[in-house]
Amino acid sequence: MVTLLEGADELRLSNGTGRCSGRVEIKHEGQWGTVCDGDWTIKDADVVCKQLRCGSAVQALSRASFGEGSGPTWLYRVHCHGDESALWNCSHTGWGAFTCPHYFDIGVICSGFSGLSLTGGDTACSGHLQVKQEETWAMVCLSHTDFKTASVICNELECGQAVDILRGTHFGKRQELIWQEEFHCVGNETHLAHCPRMLHHSETCSHDVRVVCSGYGGYRLANGSNTCSGRVELLHGGTWATLCDYLWDLPAANALCQQLDCGVALLIPGGESFTKGNGSFWNGTFSCKKNGSHLRHCPVHVLGHDECPAGNDARVVCSGCPGGRLVNGTTCSGRVEIRHGDTWGSLCRSHWNLQAASVLCRQLNCGYAKSIQTGDHFVDGNGPVWRDAFHCEGTESCLWDCAQVTLGNPSCSIREAATVICSGLAESLRLSGGESRCDGRLEVSLHGTWSRVLDDDWDIKDAHVVCRQLQCGIAQKAYYLPRSERGVGLVGLRSVQCAGNETQLMLCKTSHSQTVPTGVAEDVGVICSGSRQIRLVNGTNRCAGRVELYHYGIWGTVCDDNWDLPDANVVCKQLGCGHAIKAFVSAHYGEGSGQIWLDDVNCTGAESDLWSCPFRAWGQHNCQHKEDAGVLCSEFLALRLVDGNDCAGRLEVFYNGTWGSICSNRMSQLIATIVCKHLNCGDGGEIARDFTYGRGSGPTWLDHIECTEQHSLLWQCQSDPWNPHSCDNRAEETHISCTGRKEVKSPATFSECPNSTSCSDKEKLRVIGREDGCSGRVEIWHQGSWGTVCDDSWDIADANVVCRQLGCGSAVSALSEAAFGEGSGPIWLEKVHCKGTELSLWDCPAKPLFSKNCDHKEDAAVDCSGMTEMTASPTRSDPPRHPATEKTRISTPVIICIFLGALLCLVLAILAGQIQSARAQQRGSRASYDPFSEVVYEEINYNLMMEKQGMTGLPEVSPLPGSALEDGYDDVAEAPGPQDASLSGQNEQEFIGIPEESDRIKDSQTDWSSNVSGSRTSESERHSSPALEDMGYNNIEELGH
C-alpha cells in the first residue's frame, strides 16, 4: 500500500496485489473514506498513479474490484483532465456531497514503472532487464522473475517469444537500485504492468536477470498489395524503418517469408515496386540461424541509421501461404509437395482434383491449374508421401484453408504422387470476388500490379474473350458491379471493345488509364459457364446436406421429383465424397430459399457432374422448397462415445453409413485429448484400459491412428485405410474418458436442432448477450458444438447478414474484441467477407480457423435493430420487389385492440348468419327445391375451370432479368439461348424461368381450391405447360381467381 499526504489530505491504494494497485481511499478530516464514480476513466486513474509516483495507469476499475471499503464517500463523479497534481484537484461534486453504496468503490492498477528495456545484449531483444522507476532505472532480481514473466516482456517489446532467462551480473557491493517486487505473470498478459506482483521485503539479491527473446524486435512488410509483400521494415529502439541490406538475396528473403508465416519468397521486385516509407533506414545485414526449419533467431548485424543507396532497400513478394511447393519441374509446374511440421513430402493423387490444384497454383502466384493429368512427368523423387485430401471450393487463398481429411485414406507410392501444370506467371487476367475463379469482378495485371477494368459499354462479346482466355467456357453474362462491390485503386484498362473472337483481352481495342473520370465508367464483371459448381449445405459436414447448384451467378436448389440413388451418386462422386448412402427428399436438410434450378433429374449414375444428367431446362420446375433434395454420402464422417455418457465411452466413427469401433493399437494420450476437444468434452482425456464401456457389434473401421500436436481434429490424423475388420478382436476397441462435460442445454435451447440433420441455417446461428436474442456475441453450430467467430475483418456487412438471418432487422453496429464477453469452445471462423446481401452467413466467404491466430478476446458480436421485415430482402434469386417495410414488435395495447376487433367481427358474423338463416326458412316455405341455384353453382364452377385451363396458354416465360441477380447489379448483357423447356439441360446459355409468386400466395389460396375438384397434373400435363411450372405451383387448381 502507498500512502501520500497532500496538505491535510492523504491518498492510498488498499487491498491490491502490490504497492501500486488497489481500492482508492482518501483521508479527509481525519477519516478514511472511498471514491464513488460510475464513469471512472483511465485519465482519472492516471492522476492517482502519478500522485502516488506509481507510473501510469494500466486499468481504471469500478464496482469494488478490490472489495468494498468502509467509511464515508468522500468524492463522487470525479472528472480529471490528466494533468492535475492531486485527485481532489479534479472537478467533483464536493467533499462528502453524496453517499454512495460501497459496491461502487473505484480502484486502479498502476504500472509501478514508466519504462522497460533490455540492455547490454547482442541485440535489442536480449540483455539485462531494467524498469524505470520515476527517473531512475532499476535492475530486476533473477529470483523475482520466471519464464512466464520473460514471455510477457518479449511480447511487450515486440521481440517475439521468450527463449531463455539467464543469470546476470553478480551485484556484490554495487549500489544499483534493485526493483523490490516479484512478478507473478500468467504468461498471456500484454504488458508487464498487468502482471500480479508481490512486494519482496528482503533487500538481498545476488544476481540480476538477463532475458533472451527470439526476435530482433519485429519485422513487417509495408506498402505491398497484402501483408505478405512489400518493403521490409524493422523495429528497433521503438522505431520502424526500412531495412537497408547490401547483401539482400532470395535465400534471406525466403527465410523472412517463413519467419512471417508468409510461405516462400516468390521474387525480389526491383525499381519502385513499393512506395517509399518515412525516409528512415536501419542499415545492416539480415541473417537467420536455422534450428531445423524453425526460424527463431533472425538478428541484423552492424546496425546503423544512415541513408540507403538506391536499390539496397530490402523488398520481397512472398507466396502468402506456408507449406506448399512444386518440385521436379518449373516454377509453375511439377510434383506437389506439402509440409507437415518440419518435413516436406509428396501428396497422394487419389483425392487430388482441379479445384484443389487451382488453389495451390494461386497460392504460388502461378495462375490457375490447367492440368493435373501429367502421366509420369515430375514424379521421380523420394521422401514420404502424405495421404491428405484437400476438399476446396476453389475460392480459398491457401491450400490449408480447404477442408482437410487424412484419416483412413489409402497409402500410395511416389509414382502415384499428385502433379499439376499451372497457367503460369504470364497470366494477366483474373476474376475476383465471385464464387469461383470463373465469375466476379474483372482485374488485369499490369507491371506486376492487379488493376481495375472500367468500361461504359461492356457487353457479352467482351465477356466471351475473358472466359475464353481463362479457360472458363463461354460467357453467360456481362454486368456492371453494384456500388458496394466496386474496386478501389489503380485503373488498368478502360473502354474495352472486342469483336468476340479474340483469344486475349489485350488483343481487343483498349485504352490505358490511371485515373477514374467521374461518372464515365464503372467496374465490370463476368459470369462464365465454368463457374457452375455444387455443394451440400445444412449437414454437419461437407458430405451430407441439401443439394445446391451455383449457376448464372445464383445458388439454387434441386427438386426431389424422381430424385433417387443414381442422382445422389453423381453428387457424391462430383464432391469427392465417395458414393451415395441415401437420397433424401422433402427438404430433409431444411428448406432452401430463392431459385430452384433443377427438376426431374434422371441420372444413370455414370455422369461426371449433375448438370450432365437429363433434367428439365434450367429453372423450369413445378416445386416448392419443401421438396428440396438432399444427399448422405459414404465419406460423411462423425464421431461419438457410446455406452457411457456424452464424454466417456467406447469410441466410434460413422463411415460408409455405419457406426463402427476404432482400434487402440498405437493409441496415445494425445489422441484421447484430440478426441475430447473434437467432441467439445474438455481439453484432456485418457484411454481407459479396463474396457468399462462394453464391446461393440458393428465394424471395426480404423487402426494405427497417429496424431501430432498440430492436429486439431481427428480427421487430420494418419491411420491405416478404412477396413471393417481392422481389429483382431474386440479387446482392441478404444475406450476414452474425457475430463470435461458437455454443456447441458436449457429447455429454451433447441431440443433436436442443431443436433438434428434437418436443421435450418437460422437454427445453427445465435447471439449471446441481451435477452431479445438480437444483440450479442455471434456463435455458430459446427461439428457438434457451438463456437465463436473471430473479429478479423468483421464489419457492418457481416453483421447485416447475421441480423437478417436471425430475423432481427438490420445491423446497428459490428462489434469486436469480445464486446459481449468472451465465449468458450472452438473459434470456427475468421476473416468473414460478406457482401451484406447474403441470406445466410454460410453463403459468405470465410476462412476456417485451423491456426491459433485468434483467441476469445477477439470474439465478434453484433447489435441488431430488432426490427423485422414484412417482405424478404431482394436476393440474386428473387425478382424485383417493392422496398421492404419495417415494423416494430407489437405492443400489448395493440394486441388487445386486435383481439377486441376480432371478437366484434365474430359477433356480427353470427348475427348475420342468424338473419340469413331466418330468410332462407321463409323462402323454403315457398319452395322446397330450387333447381336454378344448382345450375348457377355448376356454371360458376365450370367458368372457373375454363379460366384455369385458359391460363395454360400464357405467353412464354421471359428470361431471368438482371435484376433477379443480387440487388444493385446492372444487367449489361446476357448470352442468347434456346427458349424451349427441353430436357437436355446441356446448353451453356439457357434462359431461366422466373418464379412469379411466393409460397405465401399459394397458402392463402388453399381454402378456395379445396372447393374445386382436381388432382396433381399428370406428367404429360406438366411437360406441356412450362410456363405454369415456372410459377412454382404444384396444383393446377390453385391458379384461379
Q: Which of 758, 763, 754 is nearest to 584 (CA)?
A: 758
Query: Beta strand pairing status for 265-267 and 315-318?
Result: antiparallel
Q: Which amino acid type is present at position 864? A: C
DSSP 594: S
**What would the grid cell of residue 340 be?**
507437415
Cβ atoms of 552 and 527 closer than 8 Å: yes
pLDDT of residue 536: 93
Task: Give the number of other Cβ atoms within 10 Å of residue 96's Cβ.
Answer: 15
Q: Could you please report the per-residue DSSP string of 809-867?
A: -SEEEEE-SSTT----S-EEEES----S--SSGGGS--EE--SSS--GGGB-EEEE--P
pLDDT of residue 853: 67
Residue 304: pLDDT band by 50, 70, 90 thresholds? Answer: low
Percent of the chain past pLDDT 70, that is, above it, reads 74
Distances (CA, A) of 877 to 287, 960, 982: 56, 9, 22
Encode 607-639: b = buried (16+ Cβ within 10 Å), e = exposed. Answer: beebbebebbbbbbbbbbbebbbbbbbbbbbeb
User: For residue range 398-409, what is the model confidence (pLDDT) as tens digits?
Assistant: 888 888 899 999
Between 915 and 961, the higher pLDDT residue? 915
**Whole-number average pLDDT of the chain:** 76
Whether 821 shows a pLDDT value over 50: the answer reads: yes
Superfamily of domain 429-511+520-528: SRCR-like domain (3.10.250.10)
Q: How many CA atoms lie within 13 A of 236 on its CB side?
A: 21
Q: Which amino acid type is present at position 1037? A: E
User: For residue range 721-736, what is the model confidence (pLDDT) as tens digits?
Assistant: 999 999 988 889 999 9
CATH class for the region spanning 218-318? alpha beta
**What would the grid cell of residue 254 be?**
525466403
**What would the grid cell of residue 448 be?**
506486376
The residue whose grid cell reads 506437389 is 336
Least confident window among 260-274, 357-371, 448-462, 700-714: 260-274
pLDDT of residue 425: 63
Q: Residue 73: which H helix or E strand, with range?
A: strand 73-76
**What would the grid cell of residue 656 be?**
460408409
pLDDT of residue 199: 72
Whether 364 shows a pLDDT value over 50: the answer reads: yes
Residue 225: pLDDT band by 50, 70, 90 thresholds? Answer: confident
pLDDT of residue 1019: 38
Least confident window among 357-366, 472-481, 874-883: 874-883
pLDDT of residue 946: 38
**What would the grid cell of residue 835 be?**
457482401
Between 783 and 340, the higher pLDDT residue? 340
Q: Which amino acid type is present at position 223? A: N
pTM score, whole prediction: 0.53
User: For residue range 858-893, what is the model confidence (pLDDT) as tens digits?
Assistant: 899 999 887 544 333 333 333 333 333 333 344 455
Residue 701: pLDDT band by 50, 70, 90 thresholds? Answer: very high
User: For residue range 188-199, what is the model confidence (pLDDT) as tens digits?
Assistant: 888 888 888 777
Distances (CA, A) of 927 to 921, 938, 960: 10, 20, 58
Cβ atoms of 46 and 52 closer than 8 Å: no
Whether 970 shows a pLDDT value over 70: the answer reads: no
Residue 1004: pLDDT band by 50, 70, 90 thresholds? Answer: very low
- Read off the pLDDT of each residue in 535-545 and give the average, rounded to a whole number: 88
Whether 237 shows a pLDDT value over 60: the answer reads: no
Q: Could you please report the per-residue DSSP string of 676-725?
A: HHHTTS-S-EEE-SS-TT----S-EEE---B--TT-SSGGGSB-PPP-TB
First to last CA, the chain: 85
pLDDT of residue 173: 59
Residue 1029: pLDDT band by 50, 70, 90 thresholds? Answer: very low
pLDDT of residue 1031: 33
Residue 203: pLDDT band by 50, 70, 90 thresholds? Answer: low
Query: Cβ-count burial of 700 within 10 angstroms (0-12 exposed, 13-18 middle, 19+ buried)?
Result: buried
Question: 533-633 adopts what CATH topology?
Answer: Mac-2 Binding Protein (3.10.250)
pLDDT of residue 911: 79
Least confident window among 198-212, 625-639, 747-761, 1019-1033: 1019-1033
- Residue 184's SS3 state is coil
Question: 115-213 adopts what CATH topology?
Answer: Mac-2 Binding Protein (3.10.250)
Domain with CATH 3.10.250.10 in the chain: 10-110, 115-213, 218-318, 324-422, 429-511+520-528, 533-633, 638-738, 764-864
Rounded Cα distance, 129 and 166, in Å:
11
pLDDT of residue 123: 62
The residue whose grid cell reads 469410441 is 651
pLDDT of residue 478: 93
Rounded Cα distance, 132 and 165, in Å:
20
Cβ atoms of 140 and 130 closer than 8 Å: yes
DSSP 954: P
**What would the grid cell of residue 886 be?**
419495417
Residue 761: pLDDT band by 50, 70, 90 thresholds? Answer: low
Q: Which of 106, 2, 96 is nearest to 44 (CA)?
A: 106
Cβ atoms of 81 and 28 closer than 8 Å: no
User: For residue range 951-967, what is the model confidence (pLDDT) as tens digits?
Assistant: 333 333 333 333 334 44
- Read off the pLDDT of each residue in 814-825 and give the average, rounded to a whole number: 87
Question: Dihedral sign, CA of 63, 69, 75, 81?
Answer: negative
3-state helix, strand, coil in the chain (%, to 5): 20, 30, 50
The whole-angstrom distance between residue 836's C-alpha and the CA centroid of its chain comes to 14
Residue 419: pLDDT band by 50, 70, 90 thresholds? Answer: very high
Whether 1038 shows a pLDDT value over 50: the answer reads: no
Rounded Cα distance, 646 and 508, in Å:
64
Q: Which residues contact 757 (CB under 8 A, 6 or more apart)?
A: 538, 539, 540, 544, 588, 589
Rounded Cα distance, 983 and 1026, in Å:
11
Q: Which of 641, 630, 750 is nearest to 693 (CA)?
A: 641
Between 166 and 517, the higher pLDDT residue? 166
Q: Say if residue 754 is preceded by a cis peptide, omega within 30 of 0.
A: yes
CATH code assigned to 764-864: 3.10.250.10
Four-way CATH pick for 638-738: 3.50.50.100, 3.20.20.70, 3.10.250.10, 1.10.10.10: 3.10.250.10
Cβ atoms of 184 and 235 closer than 8 Å: no
Residue 1034: pLDDT band by 50, 70, 90 thresholds? Answer: very low
Q: Which of 629, 624, 626, 553 is nearest to 1029 (CA)?
A: 624
Q: Which of 760, 762, 787 is nearest to 539 (CA)?
A: 760
Whether 851 shows a pLDDT value over 50: the answer reads: no
Superfamily of domain 324-422: SRCR-like domain (3.10.250.10)
The residue whose grid cell reads 485418457 is 686
Question: 10-110 adopts what CATH topology?
Answer: Mac-2 Binding Protein (3.10.250)
Whether 35 shows a pLDDT value over 90: the answer reads: yes
| φ and ψ of 29, to 5 deg | 55, 40
Q: Which of 720, 707, 616, 617 is nearest to 670 (CA)?
A: 707
pLDDT of residue 258: 73
Cβ atoms of 329 and 335 closer than 8 Å: yes
Whether 631 shows a pLDDT value over 60: the answer reads: yes
Rounded Cα distance, 229 and 365, in Å:
12
Least confident window among 475-479, 579-583, 589-593, 1007-1011: 1007-1011
User: For residue range 79-138, what is the model confidence (pLDDT) as tens digits?
Assistant: 998 888 899 999 998 998 888 899 889 999 888 887 888 887 766 677 889 888 766 788
Cβ atoms of 634 and 578 closer than 8 Å: yes
Q: Work out the widest C-alpha separation in the chain, in whole angstroms.
A: 131
**C-alpha angle 995-1000-1001 in degrees, rounded to nearest 5:** 70
Least confident window among 547-551, 578-582, 769-773, 873-877: 873-877
